[in-house]
């Protein structure tokens, strides 16, 4: 397994985005998992991870994603070498907390030694662009050769 796509979603948009990214990655070995069903011990620093995460509450992670990130805080695994990219989802009507979910995820992985690659995507549900269309373009901007070196 070379690319692990993890999604955190309340209403299903991030899941659709994760599936669209997987479809776009032809030629790669890809898995798609819901963060709510993903155990912290499954994080493998040798693999490239794509985090697809929406934002809820007052700039919080989606409810289903919280246990994974709470477990990261509790266990503090060494994620040195883990390379990841983030596609965040939010809505600019929440101007103070726009896209905070993906930013929280990136900060937590970085704090444990992970390295973020590529552009941090921030989809805006109030914008014109469909999240899956934006994600299909975004995935081709990722430095996949460098992300997958050694994976
Ligand atoms: C109750 C509620 C709270 C939200 N809070 C925020 C927020 O604080 N910041 C933000 O950028 N987007 C916020 N959003 C927008 C969602 O993150 C956005 O619609 C996203 O596309 C939903 O993805 P999902 O279907 O995967 O959950 C909120 C949406 C709802 C319904």
Reported as a single tens digit per residue, the pLDDT across 73-128 is 999 999 999 999 999 999 999 999 999 999 999 999 999 999 999 999 999 999 99
Nearest to 91 by CA among 129, 65, 117, 119: 129
Dihedral of alpha carbons 60, 66, 69, 75, sign: positive
**Structure confidence at residue 147 (pLDDT):** 80
CB proximity list for 104: less than 8 A, separation 6 or greater: 59, 60, 61, 69
Q: Is 132 near ligand 1, meaning CB less than 6 Å away? A: no
Chain mean position to CA 36: 13
**Structure confidence at residue 148 (pLDDT):** 82
Q: Is 118 left (phi over 0), alpha (psi -120 to 50) or beta?
A: left
| From 17, 54, 97, 122, mutation site for ligand 1 pocket: most ligand atoms within 8 A of C-beta | 54
Domain ranges of the chain: 3-148
The residue whose C-alpha atom lies closest to atom 2 belonging to ligand 1 is 56
Nearest to 42 by CA among 5, 96, 91: 5
**Structure confidence at residue 1 (pLDDT):** 54
**Structure confidence at residue 145 (pLDDT):** 82
Q: Is 88 near ligand 1, meaning CB less than 6 Å away? A: no
CA 22-26-27 angle, 5° bins? 125
pLDDT tens-digit series, residues 126-146: 999 999 999 999 999 999 887
pLDDT tens-digit series, residues 27-66: 999 999 999 999 999 999 999 999 999 999 999 999 999 9
User: 13 CA distance to ligand 1 centroid (A)?
Assistant: 10
**Structure confidence at residue 150 (pLDDT):** 66
The b-or-e profile of 84-106 (16+ CB within 10 A means b, else e) is bbbbbbbbeebeebbbbbbbbbb
User: CATH number of the domain at 3-148, out of 3.30.360.10, 3.90.870.20, 3.40.50.360, 2.40.37.10?
Assistant: 3.40.50.360
């Amino acid at each position: 397994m070379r690319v692990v796509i993890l999604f955190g979603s309340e209403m299903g948009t991030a899941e659709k985005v994760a599936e669209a990214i997987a479809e776009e990655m032809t030629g790669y070995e890809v898995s798609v998992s819901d963060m709510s069903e993903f155990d912290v011990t499954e994080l493998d620093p040798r693999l490239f991870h794509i985090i697809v995460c929406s934002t809820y509450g007052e700039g919080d992670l989606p409810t289903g994603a919280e246990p994974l990130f709470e477990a990261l805080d509790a266990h503090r695994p060494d994620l040195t070498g883990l390379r990841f990219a983030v596609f965040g989802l939010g809505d600019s009507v929440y101007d103070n907390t726009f896209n905070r979910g993906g930013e929280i995820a990136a900060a937590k992985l970085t704090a444990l030694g992970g390295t973020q690659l590529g552009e941090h995507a921030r989809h805006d549900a109030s914008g014109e662009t469909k999240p899956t269309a934006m994600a299909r373009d975004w995935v081709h901007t990722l430095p996949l050769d460098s992300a997958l070196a050694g994976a």
